[in-house]
């Protein structure tokens, strides 16, 4: 029989779903953003990148609202102070980037040259932001810098998760996975 006890040692299903849906979309967009010049132009990846980016923005705003109203599971008591600080800082930086990075991309294409259509996977048009040419240029510069910063932070985040799982052999990764179960409460 399943236990009715609420588990406080793993992330909730909602948090896990938000994490992995957004993580896959971000990995796709980082890959497309960084390598779009080397991909065949016939693949027309940038319309996908833009639609995916706007989807990430909407999902991340919903995720932030979720996070501010739900408490994540506590870290193990023995976690050193510097690890707690590093995890907290990098997690909030990731939340911020999943919102600010797509906004800078949206600003960039809203008054860019040449003007290009913006739609959601070809299904309906997405409105442009009312920004000046200068603000669009700022969005372009910020998108490139923050895009590289996010790629670096995601690499560190993945290395940290693997360090916990493979070297420290604790439950940090497993408690964010939908399939692998922790021992029953």
Residues that bind ligand HEM (CB under 6 A): 19, 22-23, 26-27, 29-30, 33-34, 46, 49-50, 53-54, 56, 67, 72, 87, 91, 94-95, 98, 101-102, 105-106, 108-109, 143-144, 147-148, 150, 154, 157-158, 161, 172-173, 175-176
Between 4 and 82, name the residue whose CB sits nearer to ligand HEM. 82
Dig out the tokens for 74 from the structure: 């506590």
- d(CA 153, CA 92) in angstroms, rounded, equals 11
Helix (H, G, I), strand (E, B) or coil at 119: strand
If we measure between CA atoms, which residue out of 63, 16, 9, 48 comes closest to residue 171?
Answer: 9
Between 4 and 114, name the residue whose CB sits nearer to ligand HEM. 114
- DSSP label at 177? -
Q: How many CB atoms lie within 10 A of CB 147?
A: 17
Q: C-beta of 1: minimal distance to ligand HEM in Å?
A: 28
Between 105 and 111, name the residue whose CB sits nearer to ligand HEM. 105
Burial label for 2, CB within 10 Å (0-12, 13-18, 19+), is exposed
Between 2 and 169, name the residue whose CB sits nearer to ligand HEM. 169
Q: C-beta of 5: minimal distance to ligand HEM in Å?
A: 20
């Amino acid at each position: 029989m399943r236990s009715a006890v609420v588990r406080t040692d793993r992330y909730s299903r909602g948090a896990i779903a938000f994490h992995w849906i957004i993580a896959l979309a971000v990995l796709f967009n980082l890959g497309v953003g960084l390598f779009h010049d080397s991909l065949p132009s016939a693949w027309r990846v940038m319309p996908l990148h833009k639609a995916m980016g706007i989807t990430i923005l909407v999902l991340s705003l919903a995720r932030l609202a979720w996070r501010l109203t739900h408490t994540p599971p506590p870290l193990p008591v023995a976690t050193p102070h510097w690890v707690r600080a590093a995890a907290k800082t990098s997690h909030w930086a990731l939340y911020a980037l999943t919102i600010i990075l797509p906004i800078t991309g949206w600003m960039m294409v809203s008054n860019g040259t040449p003007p290009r259509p913006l739609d959601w996977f070809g299904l309906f048009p997405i409105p442009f932001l009312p920004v000046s040419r200068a603000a669009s240029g700022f969005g372009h510069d910020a998108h490139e810098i923050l895009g590289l910063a996010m790629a670096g932070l995601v690499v560190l985040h993945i290395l940290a998760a693997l360090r916990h799982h493979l070297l420290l052999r604790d439950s940090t990764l497993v408690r964010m996975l939908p399939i692998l179960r922790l021992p029953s409460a």
